[in-house]
Amino acid sequence: MSARARLHATVPAPMPSSLAGPPEIVGLPGRRMLVQRGDDDIVVQPLDDAFVARAGASIRFPAPWPRRRGTWEVAPDASLAVFAGVHAVRAVEPSGATRWEVRHGCWYGACREMHESYDEYADRQDHRYPESGSVGFSADGGLVWAHVRGPLSEGELNPDTVDEWLVIDAENGRVLARADAEAAAAGSIHLPHPTDPRQMGLSIGEGQDGAPLRWGRWDGRELTVDCLDGDLCLLSLSPSGDRLMTVSHDQDSLAVRDSRGAVVEALDWNAETVIPRHPDVPADTDEEELLACWDWAGGFLDETTLVASTAESDEEWGHGRHWLVDSTGTRDFVPIDYPSPVAGEPTALGGGVWSTLSRTSDVLHVWGVQRPDAGS
């Protein structure tokens, strides 16, 4: 049995792949945007319910430094872009004006300087491949959560703090709260609670050393950080925000958890147990060579349905596989059958749909499940 995918939309990238990173569809249903980071700016195109760019609504945010020197995020209403760089977090308006900046320690591990500008290290060979943090907007766009390398330009939590987690007022850049992230990151991503602007997930990668997962709660006065047990990569939150989709750092386990890290209703799938043999694997292949693993990709399509993939471990044998996972009582786990080959991994968009990126990285395809009465 398989789940048949139906193409909902084909969304072209606003910039050529030679000059930009891959396009992404972000935002919740009803306020989705197509965003792409170029060498010099971010392009934002609001999308309608059919994933068509709204005419004349494109917005550009000039970038303060090259795209390979940090990460970025656009506000839910596309009024502001925040860049997480090597030495600072900077909020930029569409005009190119800097609304605010928070300086912090340098993400190049051996550097102990407090840089005042990008120009100080732009041409330094030892700063070409720094570690990185990330930023994330709260659901209402009022807060920016930032994962930075300590210390800040004024003071520090304590001498042993390496990475800090900040809550920042998106309007004026005031740091409202700080906490020790208790990590030494190579990179990270933020995943906001979809309805509660006071909650945020932070998934941290420490390379081969591990994958700490943090859950933050800001009550207006104090930031409380839960350190979830295990090395877990946070991939997605359900529409209610009550459920988290995680994959273990070793890529063995896919699970549905609550915000305290507990597995919900035994919803934990071991790759070796549930992933069937790839159909293109020769019959005489030794079982020890079949190292099935989950990709760090996928997410919730709705409150109980997930999309996941095993493309990384499949590529040795043939086409990468995507899976539809039902987390209700039936707990169905079925491969997705596409009408034409797809590349890479799936990205859950909510509202029952997901996207895949073309092999040339210049088009996003939006998919849903083909219903029996929907025709061919």
Least confident of 136-150, 258-272, 278-292: 278-292
Domains defined for the chain, CATH in brackets: 22-290 (2.40.128.630)
Average pLDDT over residues 182-208: 96
- For residue 151, cis peptide bond before it (omega within 30 degrees of 0): yes
Phi, psi at 87, each rounded to 5°:
-120, -10
Residue 376 has pLDDT above 50, yes or no: no
In this structure, the number of other CB atoms found within 10 A of the CB of residue 207 comes to 11
Residue 374 has pLDDT above 60, yes or no: no
Average pLDDT over residues 37-41: 96
**What pLDDT band is residue 83 in, cutting at 50, 70 and 90?**
very high
Residue 373 has pLDDT above 70, yes or no: no
Residue 175 has pLDDT above 90, yes or no: yes
Residue 240 has pLDDT above 90, yes or no: yes
**What pLDDT band is residue 330 in, cutting at 50, 70 and 90?**
confident
* DSSP state at residue 52: P
Strand order in the sheet with 98-103: 71-74, 81-84, 88-92, 98-103
Exposed, middle or buried: residue 168 (CB in 10 Å: 0-12, 13-18, 19+)?
A: buried
Do 4 and 374 form a contact (C-beta atoms < 8 A)? no
Average pLDDT over residues 332-339: 93
Q: How far is CA 272 from CA 252, 268, 276, in A?
A: 7, 12, 8
CA distance linking residue 107 with residue 91, whole number of Å: 18
Do 256 and 243 form a contact (C-beta atoms < 8 A)? yes
Tokens 């990126």 sit on residue: 357
pLDDT score at 134: 98
Per DSSP, helices labelled H in the chain are: 271-274, 311-314
356-365 tens-digit pLDDT: 999 999 999 9
pLDDT score at 156: 63
Average pLDDT over residues 255-272: 94
